[in-house]
Amino acid sequence: MATLIIHPDNEEQLTAVRAILHALKISFEEENTYNPEFVAEILKAEEDIKNGKGVSIRTEDLWK
């Protein structure tokens, strides 16, 4: 059978497409298009910020 590649513009569209596919009992696969190493770096950075390892810069001081 044919393969479709769908590009929803937002989370609302993605949710609707998933619901339609489930309702029609059509099997589908989802792929994460982000590089796993990049995702791991972002998650680690978020965890570091939660643990107080971030640096805060006041916007007034950006151009000094």
Q: Where do the structural domains in the chain lie, given as residue ranges?
A: 11-61
- For residue 19, the SS3 value is helix
For residues 43 and 32, the answer to whether their CB atoms sit within 8 Å is no
Query: Which residue has tokens 């972002």?
Result: 42
- Residue 45 CA, chain-centre distance (Å), reads 15
Predicted TM-score of the model (pTM): 0.50
What average pLDDT does range 38-48 have in this prediction? 94
Name the percent of the chain lying above pLDDT 90. Answer: 62
For residues 64 and 58, the answer to whether their CB atoms sit within 8 Å is no
Tell me the C-alpha distance between 53 and 56, whole Å: 10
| The one-letter amino acid at 12 | E
